[in-house]
Chain A
Amino acid sequence: MIDWIIKLLMLSSSIFILLAAIGVLRLPDLLTRMHASTKAGALGITLMMIAASFHFFDSVVMAKSLAVIIFILITAPIAAHAIGRAGYFVGVPVWSKTVKDELINCYDPDSHRLMSGLETEEELEVYRQNLDYKPRIRVSSKDKKD
């Protein structure tokens, strides 16, 4: 009985990973590719780790595979967010059929500040005044005084 569960989990895990790979190859855009890779890849790892914990059926192995699952479920969205943000700001072209791009004029590449588009005029004024004081590279306080 448990053998069949392990077989089913392993097969579905590898099929999900294959789907993620096909999505990464076939989809037209960085963001859509990321959409394929993160979700299906995390689900594939999760199913494989559940299969491993069923196979060994030991409390230590179950704890370890649970740790792997939780770690993947926490870090995969963070890494995807970081890469997507960096890719968008670097200027990777989006797909030509993209319907909506809400961030299109909200990013300042000099100060790396992302506006929400809803700032009041006073906040914008404070931001503009402080613009010259912000160095791109962090300097020590000793150099700043000179």
Chain B
Amino acid sequence: MQFVIYLSFATMSLAMVIIFIRLIIGPTLPDRVVALELLASVIVAMIGAYAIYTDTSSFIDVAIVAALTAFLAAIGFARFLERGGPRDD
């Protein structure tokens, strides 16, 4: 069980590194927003894995709040992009 948990942590960390590369090189701002949203998804899944790892069920609440803030951030960025504003990719 421990080995599988460590393996899934390693896989998700690798995914975070790959998403960070896209976040840095992303040619336009919407690409970066997509990368940030996927990063938030990875964080939610990682919180779930951490709840299994530490055997603490309260971390599921943290996952709910993280998903909520990620959604609000995505909607806010989309509104900001569509309604204009100073932008320099």
Contact = CB atoms under 8 A, between A and B. Distances in A.
B63 A68 contact: yes
B2 to A, nearest CB: 11
A44 B34 contact: no
Given A61-B60, A64-B61, A25 B67 contact: no
B60 A83 contact: no
Contacts of B22: 24-25, 33
A41 B42 CA distance: 7
Interface residues of A, number: 52
Interface string B14-46: 111011011000001111011101100110110
Interface residues of B, number: 50
A114 to B, nearest CB: 11
A55 B83 CA distance: 45
Contacts of A14: 7-9, 11-12, 15, 45, 49
Contacts of B41: 17, 20, 37, 41-42, 44-45, 72, 76
A64 B65 CA distance: 11
Nearest to A12: B8
Given A3-B1, A30-B30, A82-B78, A68 B38 contact: no
Contacts of A75: 67, 71
A126 B37 CA distance: 40
Given A11-B4, A79-B78, A24 B64 contact: no
A24 to B, nearest CB: 5
